[in-house]
Structure 1
């Protein structure tokens, strides 16, 4: 079972002329020894998401913020480009002397709420500054995926690059509002830039999960382990029964997965910042202790917290 440690980053303590709400999709990058850097996205006064980071110390089951918020580390894209209305870091991968930041690019739409794509930015200074790899996305909708793809989680294992990502399968009008359904797919790459997508569905819909959100994947004892978010498509913004929760799955090859909800080990709180939703977690291990940083109610409006086991 996970032991909750409470809110780690409270947005209300860090608001400024750029950060007005939310600290969503946190990801912890190991720097050296007990030092980590947590990347996340916050919304400005116009509701557009931009990427930031804050340094911290991780030791003996505790995370302590040690620095100030830095950013935005990447500005919005050019007018009309895939990320001109929002940038949300989803996963960072260290490869030799570079850090690859895979991120979510946002565009508002007319008939539906938004369109999402996958972008890439690269750092040559240990994750302090980033530059876009390209002005266009590295993964976007296609003939086989006509709606959107987003929220990638990427691993490099000395042989190839593996990506688990969200693929939208439809939009449906619910209570006169367009709502998306999406599941988790798998892709591979030789260089982390050009991806071969063969339509492999890792985690599909079931009675509990009508939409499956950003995965977090790691290997332990030759088993792939995944924590993911899941919700209903109806009333998920207003009902704790329908809202985001955290699920768990295992796989021998990273492609075919078994959902094991009963082994997730973390649940909604009775009250407080994570009593209605829990989502967008990142799980990592340091000195034999596992840490989970995650968002709570309203998609991380108050900030992000953590749990240990």
Structure 2
């Protein structure tokens, strides 16, 4: 079972001219010893997300934030580009002497609420600053994925880049508002830039999961473990029964997965910042502990917290 440690980053404590609400999709990057950087996105006064990081000391089951928030570390894209209305970092991976940051690019739409794509930014100074790889996305909707794709998690294994990502399969009008459904797919690459998306579905829909959010994958005892978010489509914004929760899936090869909801080991709180929603987690190991960073109610409006085991 996971032991909740509470809200570690409170947006109210860090508001400034850029950060007005939310601290979403947090993930940790190990620098050295017990020093980490935690990356996340916050919304500005116009409700547009931008990427930031804050330094942290992680040791003996505790996370202590240090210093001030740094950022935005990447500015919005040029008018009309895929990320001109929002940037949310999703994962970091080291490639030789560079860091690849895969991120979510946002565009507002007319008939539906938004369109999402996957972008890449690269750091040559160990994550202090980033530059776009390209003005266009590295993964976008195409002939086989006509709606959107987003929220990638990437690892490198035996020189193969492996990505689990979210793929939208359609929108429907619910209470006069367009709501998307999306599941988790898998892709491979030789360079982390050009991806072979063959339609392989990793984690699919069921009665509980009518939309599956940002995956996090790691390997333990030769078994792939994936933590993911899931929700129902109707009333998920206001109902704890239908809102985001965290799930677990296991795989022997990283391609075929089996959900293990009963083994996730963490649930909504009775009354707290995470009593209606839990989503967008990052699970990682450090010095004998396993840590989980995650968001709570309203997609991380209050900030992000963590749990350990």
Q: Which sits farther off after the overlay, 115-124 or 153-162?
A: 153-162
Provide the residue aligned with 2:189 in structure 1. Answer: 189
Q: Is residue 142 of structure 1 aligned with residue 142 of structure 2?
A: yes
Residue 157 of structure 1: CA displacement?
1.4
Provide the residue aligned with 1:249 in structure 2. Answer: 249
Residue 171 of structure 1: CA displacement?
0.2
Q: Is residue 3 of structure 1 aligned with residue 11 of structure 2?
A: no
Taking the TM superposition and a 5 Å limit, the aligned residue runs for 1:19-58 are 19-58=19-58
Taking the TM superposition and a 5 Å limit, the aligned residue runs for 1:8-157 are 8-157=8-157
1:254-295 per-position Cα deviation (integer Å, ceiling 9, x unaligned): 110000000000000000100000000000000010000000
Residue 220 of structure 1: CA displacement?
1.1
Provide the residue aligned with 1:235 in structure 2. Answer: 235
SS of corresponding position for 1:262: helix
Provide the residue aligned with 2:208 in structure 1. Answer: 208
SS of corresponding position for 1:50: strand
SS of corresponding position for 1:67: strand
Residue 158 of structure 1: CA displacement?
3.4
Question: Matches of 1:220 and 1:192 in 2, distance apart?
Answer: 23
Provide the residue aligned with 1:171 in structure 2. Answer: 171
Question: Matches of 1:158 and 1:210 in 2, distance apart?
Answer: 34
Question: Matches of 1:2 and 1:37 in 2, distance apart?
Answer: 22
Provide the residue aligned with 1:302 in structure 2. Answer: 302
Provide the residue aligned with 1:293 in structure 2. Answer: 293
SS of corresponding position for 1:199: coil
1:84-109 per-position Cα deviation (integer Å, ceiling 9, x unaligned): 00000001001111100000000000
Question: Matches of 2:159 and 2:193 in 1, distance apart?
Answer: 15
Q: With the length of structure 1 as denominator, give the TM-score of the two structures.
A: 1.00
1:167-222 per-position Cα deviation (integer Å, ceiling 9, x unaligned): 00010000100000000000000000000000000000000000000000001111
1:67-88 per-position Cα deviation (integer Å, ceiling 9, x unaligned): 2100000000000000000000
Question: Matches of 2:65 and 2:175 in 1, distance apart?
Answer: 42
Question: Matches of 2:158 and 2:137 in 1, distance apart?
Answer: 24
Runs (4+) of structure 1 exceeding 3 A deviation are: none
Question: Matches of 1:221 and 1:238 in 2, distance apart?
Answer: 39
Residue 66 of structure 1: CA displacement?
1.2
Q: Which sits farther off after the overlay, 184-193 or 94-103?
A: 94-103
Question: Matches of 2:192 and 2:220 in 1, distance apart?
Answer: 22
Number of aligned positions between the proteins: 309
Give structure 2 stretches of 5+ with no counterpart: none
Question: Matches of 1:191 and 1:94 in 2, distance apart?
Answer: 12
Residue 10 of structure 1: CA displacement?
0.1
Residue 159 of structure 1: CA displacement?
1.9
Question: Matches of 2:35 and 2:267 in 1, distance apart?
Answer: 28
